[in-house]
Structure 1
């Protein structure tokens, strides 16, 4: 069964260390993609696309810098893409979703820790929907995101480890 990710009910967020003392948080809107499940409702594949042009950290200057060639280069690489390569059940509703993440033109294997809910009927539309949450930590430099500034007191402006979290709702196709 195919489920289409609903951009209006899906959030992609990220956080990364800033100045070595706090985290900058942001979001990416308009996430699209699909989730495939078998007859028992177990996920069998996941595809997601996150448009870099929608990055929002609450600072227009920072957002524009993130979209520039220093970071994501949104003009050349407009989307962050995830395509699953295998899904392993870890527990009741819990999964390890292995796949290829493409960001800034670089594709690397990652594994998302995920929870996926069973289908429910939307009382407004009458359609079946599923939901889920997934998280992955990765090193941005593995994807060619190298820009940084050394700080006078030591350390760097931008941390290397990024935590990406998805909260997804999808409707039966």
Structure 2
């Protein structure tokens, strides 16, 4: 009896090892990954800006239908199209990049539809305030990179948050409180 329990335990551990062997870690390619945001400006137009530096990792296991995402956005690299407005957005009333130079997203669950991830649930932290959000994937690709021949994943993800919930609500609602965050991500297998 004891021998069969040991054999069963070894078989399970071998199976678990084989399953976890399918999981791979991908490093975000910062030269092809950008986080952007848009909001309504006094009802006149929808403004779009981006952050020039986004880093982090993605773990993906297609067979096990699991994954994880850890993203860091350098808030000091905000690009609005105007250097004066870049400074304004980085001030205390909005991003307060002196105290909070980065924003982060850490996943808690990857939701699959069929064989592909469709959404990523997790915690978004801006200005030291953490709120749960769901990033909806509008695109997901897992393939070999056409130039460097390494395994790569690419995705486009979006969510909408209320900036007032992150301590950045000055001029709301005249300047829209709803902010759509979009991340275009490419990550290379390590």
- TM-score, structure 1 as length reference: 0.89
Partner of 2:183: 166
Hey, what does 1:106 align to over in structure 2?
A: 129
CA distance in 2, matches of 1:117, 1:93: 8
Please give the root-mean-square deviation of Cα atoms over the aligned residues, in Å.
1.7
Give the direction of change, closer, same or farther, for the CA distance of 1:2–1:94 in structure 2 (3 Å limit).
closer
* Secondary structure in 2 matching 1:159: coil
Alignment of 1:72-87 (within 5 A): 72-87=95-110
Unmatched runs of 5 consecutive residues or more in structure 2: 1-23
What is the CA deviation profile of residues 57-89 of structure 1, one whole-angstrom value per residue up to 9, with x for unaligned ones? 101111101111111110110011000011111
Q: Is the 8 A contact 2:62 2:116 kept in 1?
A: no
Number of corresponding residues: 166
Once the two structures are TM-superposed, the CA of residue 121 in structure 1 deviates from its matched residue by 2.0
Q: Does the C-alpha gap of structure 1 residues 94 and 38 become closer, same or farther in structure 2, counting only changes over 3 Å?
A: closer
Q: Which of 99, 106, 116 lines up with 2:140 in the alignment?
A: 116
**Cα separation, 2, equivalents of 1:94 and 1:26:** 27
**Change beyond 3 A, Cα 1:130–1:92:** same
Q: Secondary structure at the match of 1:132?
A: strand
CA contact (8 A) 1:35 1:43 kept: no
Structure of greater relative contact order (alpha carbons < 8 Å, 6+ residues apart) = 1
Greater helix share, structure number: 2
Could you state the TM-score of these two structures normalised by the residue count of structure 2?
0.82
Deviation digits for residues 18-63 of structure 1 (CA, Å, limit 9, x no counterpart) = 0112111101111101110125274510010110011001011111
Greater Cα radius of gyration, structure 1 or 2: 2
